[in-house]
Structure 1
Amino acid sequence: MAAGTATAVGASLLAGCAVLPGASGDSREPVTVMTWAPEGTPATNMPGMPAMAKAYARWANANGGLAGHELKVVTCNEHNTTVGASQCAKQAVRQGVIAVVGSYSQHGRAFMAPLETAGIPYLGGYGASDKEFNSPLSYPVNGGQAALLAGNGRQLARDCDRVSLVRPDTVAGDDLATLLGSGLAEGDRGAATDILAAEDANDYTAQAREALSSAGAFDAYGTGTGCVTAVLGDRTETFFDSFRRLEPEVHGSVRVASVLGSVGQPLLDRTGGKDGPFEGAYVTGWYPVASDARWGPMRRVIREHAFADNRIDPADTGVQTTWIAYTVLKEILESLVENGTDGVAASDVVGALNQSEGVETGGLTPTLSWRLEHLLAARDFPRIVNRYVTFQVVRRGRLVSVKEGFVDVGETLVQAPSAG
């Protein structure tokens, strides 16, 4: 009896319902989805995303499945390469998944074509590729790197007279300076100095020195505040190691910044917390800070169904994105069952996503709807429906909110110069 009570209580804590439909013995067909992410690469790695997907499936199936359907999750390592991304997409097609959910890849052109041909929706990607924001079969839950950089520009414009941006020398990184500059322009600041860097380097001393110089740190007669923002994924830590070695030369006269995904609470913890290089850093994110009570249901699922899997950190932005994407999937499947659809195909999921007037995520994002009237009128990012970010700062080694609630950067994105 105690075990049954605990299960029911755990389910009731999750936004939207108590015990899911089907717990009493419904026998609907299982549904299969895929979650992919890079693992074991020399650059960006997101092992927590497929691990979170597996934990979510264990929770869902322990509580009757999603709308009475057993949830089967197939995972794939896309290796942070175009070949890997394409192979994962083709595997998804072969296995007949109804959606790719809560995944990460920079290589949108490689994975979206096979999915589009098969009519498989890409639900809740991390937002690391432009294709996620212009493919009609992509359903993003955040504003991607575009929103983060535009928001970071807005955040830095308040305090920074000069800004240096260190970003990857990749196709995915090519738009970042323009987007950051759009945010800076709203605060009547000039464009940032765009500093390119290899995304898998082991030392960034040259880039750190250039960034400090451009921010005015080496000018003894400079006035105003210089800021350096770095967006290098996993290698952001390596960049700031190089930056910190130069810092005594400039007496800490430059403020540092980044975006979530490049800097997060796990990185702050392992680099010294309040005594680390990020104390006082400005950070722009998509979601509420990790300590927010709205993450409670996710934390409970991780605690009870991840079995001490150390790949899953509830403060990791990738893990959070996967959670939100599966939350959307749950609501969509429930809406299909309510409308009399028992067997679920990819086309059913696409139709339900296109017709939904709004999906709630427990306050972790605004209400999400991909209906035409809710899409952002931005030339390069028309599929953005969540144009909100959060402004955060590192205080005493913890990410805390600079201001309550979300900041709308939709107009900033609309006004940004076209990448084409």
Structure 2
Amino acid sequence: MTGRRRTRSTFLHALTRPVRALRTAGVLVACASLAVGCGVVPGFSGGADDDPITVMTWAPQDTNATNKPGMPAMALAYARHVNAHGGINGRKLKVVICNDRNDSVHAAKCARRAVEQKAVAVVGSYSQFADTFFPILEGTGIPYIGGYGITNAEFTSPLSYPVNGGQPALLAGLGRHLASGCGPVALVRPDTIAGDELPNLLNSGLQAGGHQDADDLRAAEDATEFSAQTEQALTAATADPAKQGCVVPALGDRTNTFMDSFRRDREGYPAVRMGTVLGSVDQTVIDATGGASSPYEGAYITGWYPVEADKRWDGMKKVIREQAFTDTRIDPADAGVQTTWIAYTVLEAVVKALGDGEVSSDTVRRSLDDGFKVTTDGLTPTLRWQFQDVLASVGFPRLVNTDVTLQVVRDGRLVAAREGAIDVTKTLQDAEGEA
């Protein structure tokens, strides 16, 4: 380990790209039409008591990097479902969608669009640019319900209500799972101050299972080729011929680049298992890299929720069949789609609880802050947000779902590798103690 000072506030930036500077203040709105990935569920006119409840969902679409088109598509399907059954407390749900284009400027545009539309919440969304959109939401009091969990601000902002444990829980949980199924473990991660956090989290999980620490292999943050790290990882993971080792790439957007090198250079070495986390890899990435012939075949992947085949997803699948059967953007196995579904169930529960009272960003936020509890049919633990929660002392005051599931890629699909979930609260606390 280096002597560089590590801080919890920088941890998740190891898994995301740097925020690019805002170039202009007066910009056109990001969402113009459904043809470019933006649009709304048709509005409904009426008196004040009959006005639709407006929310926003944003995610990157049609970019050369991460794309999550299934999230806004799921939001629109959810709204169609709710409206087909009389709305929420008799009021229609209007969903404005926005394409953040994996760009800080457009992320800010989407947030300003939410303000212009008088959205009561931003729900089930994905953006890497919390530094540009959260100040806008916080300045106007719009809650952010169910972000994807890829930025530190999602676990620190008082306006954030996450439904999963983000990357911190996944990496700590991965160590717990690999401890019982792997020989030597090699971690490949960015050589940055933020990247220095990753071994602490993984190793705390390994130690909890009685396993030795992982070999810590560093790579340049902007590397475009990983042959040297592949050779180092394979050498370390195969050091014990009696046990099958595991390689864990935790390189964010560069994980696929590492896997290209790994697939090319692994010949001549004993077989090893791969382990990684959702956010670096999910079902859409597996599909895009070859499905059953993907280099991720056989890999362990920690996730936030039950696998797609679990019956607890039947409600979501029914809505997809009825409202979006021909929409190929919506994959029920995609963690983004699942997060959006859960986030909208939270929104609906809060609005229903408000009854005939005012539905606004203020009332939604106050309900959540007053200890409102949401059950999600077992897809998550009961969700309840309090700013000073159990993980506040280690820098994650909004992290309330510390459950992690273990999945494995089998025949190109993510399936359960073991029953149930584990709670990684103590693992996260122990990781902070080592930092």
Q: TM-score, normalised by structure 2?
A: 0.81
Q: Which runs of 5+ in 2 are unaligned?
A: 1-46
* Residues 231 and 305 (structure 1), Cα distance of their counterparts in 2 relative to 1, 3 Å cut: farther
| Distance of 2:361 and 2:247 partners within structure 1 | 44
The 5-angstrom pairing of residues 264-275 of structure 1 reads: 264-269=282-287, 271-275=289-293
1:225 Cα deviation after fit? 3.8
Q: Residue 127 of structure 2 corresponds to which residue in structure 1?
A: 105
3-state DSSP class of the match of 2:96? strand
Identify which range, 227-236 or 106-115, moves more after superposition.
227-236
| 1:211 lines up with 2:199 in the alignment | no
Aligned partner (choices 30, 42, 51) of residue 64 of structure 2: 42
**Which residue of the partner structure matches residue 262 of structure 1?**
280
* TM-superposition CA deviations, 1:102-156 (whole Å, max 9, x none): 1112222222111111111110000000111011111000000111111011111
**1:394 to partner: Cα distance:** 2.8
Cα deviation 1:61-106 (Å, max 9, x = unaligned): 1111222221111122222233232222222222211111111122
Cα distance change on mapping 1:262 and 1:222 into 2, 3 Å: same
Moved more, 169-178 or 32-41: 169-178
Equivalent residue for 2:35? Answer: none
Mapping 1:309-320, distance limit 5 Å = 309-320=327-338
Q: Secondary structure at the match of 2:127?
A: coil
1:21 counterpart residue number = none
Q: After superposition, give the CA deviation of every residue in 1:335-391 in whole Å (9 maximum; x if it has no partner).
A: 011xx41x3110100011112441011111111111357553442211111110111
Distance change in 2, residues 1:419/1:140 (3 Å): farther
Cα distance change of structure 1 residues 79 and 265 upon mapping to structure 2, 3 Å threshold: closer
Amino acid corresponding to residue 299 of structure 1 in structure 2: K
- How many residues are paired up? 388
Tell me by how many angstroms 1:318 deviates.
0.4
Question: Secondary structure at 2:266's aligned position in 1?
Answer: helix
Report the equivalent of 1:346: 361
- Structure 1 segment 165-244 matched on structure 2, within 5 A: 165-167=187-189, 175-188=197-210, 189-196=212-219, 203-213=225-235, 215-217=236-238, 224-232=243-251, 236-244=255-263
| Distance (Å, rounded) in 2 between the aligned partners of 1:63 and 1:365 | 25
Counterpart-to-counterpart distance in 2, 1:56 and 1:197: 42
Q: CA RMSD in A?
A: 2.8
Partner of 1:11: none
User: Are 1:152 and 2:170 matched, yes or no?
Assistant: no
Q: In 2, are the aligned partners of 1:177 and 1:194 still within 8 Å (CA)?
A: no
Paired with 2:56 and 2:373, the residues of 1 have a C-alpha distance of 23
CA gap of 1:387–1:81, structure 2 versus 1, over 3 A, is same
Assess if the C-alpha contact under 8 Å between 1:276 and 1:397 holds in 2.
yes
2:309 paired with 1:291: yes
Tell me if 1:70 matches 2:88.
no
SS in 1 for 2:50: coil
CA distance in 1, matches of 2:434, 2:110: 28
Residue of structure 2 in register with 1:32 after alignment: 54
Q: Matched residue of 1:394: which SS? A: strand
CA distance in 2, matches of 1:202, 1:48: 28
Residue of structure 2 equivalent to 1:12:
none
User: Equivalent residue for 1:13?
Assistant: none
Deviation per CA, 1:282-337: give whole Å up to 9, x if none: 11110000111111111121122125222111110001000000010000000011
Structure 2 SS opposite 1:248: coil
Is the counterpart of residue 335 in structure 1 residue 339 in structure 2? no
The answer to whether the 8 Å contact 2:217/2:229 transfers is: no
User: Which residue is equivalent to 1:94?
Assistant: 116
Once the two structures are aligned, what percentage of the paired residues are identical?
Answer: 55
Q: Structure 1 289/39 Cα, relative in aligned 2: closer, same or farther at 3 Å?
A: same
Could you say which residue in structure 1 is the equivalent of 2:102? 80
Q: Which amino acid aligns with 2:395?
A: D
* Distance in 1, Cα, partners of 2:319 & 2:76: 11
- Residues 44, 233 of structure 1: 8 Å contact kept: no
- Partner residue, 1:408: 423
Q: What residue identity is the alignment partner of 1:195? A: R
Q: Distance in 2 between matches of 1:286 and 1:224?
A: 28
Question: Which letter maps to 1:162?
Answer: P
Contact between 1:125 and 1:141, CA under 8 Å: does it hold in 2? yes
Aligned counterparts of 2:256 and 2:187: Cα–Cα separation in 1: 15
Q: Residue type matched to 2:169 in 1?
A: A
Is 274-283 or 304-313 further displaced after alignment? 274-283
Aligned partners of 1:229 and 1:256 also within 8 Å: yes
Q: Is the 8 A contact 2:186 2:215 kept in 1?
A: yes
Cα separation, 2, equivalents of 1:31 and 1:176: 41
Judged with a 3 Å threshold, the aligned counterparts in structure 2 of structure 1 residues 58 and 271 are, in CA distance, closer, same or farther, namely same
SS of residue paired to 1:382 = coil
The C-alpha deviation readout for 1:197-242, integer Å capped at 9, x for no partner, is: 657x7654344334324x244x6x7664431122455654443232
Structure 1 residue 277 corresponds to structure 2 residue 299: no
- Structure 1 unaligned blocks of 5 or more: 1-24
> 1:389 is matched with which residue?
404
Match of 1:248 in 2: 267
Paired letter, 2:208: E
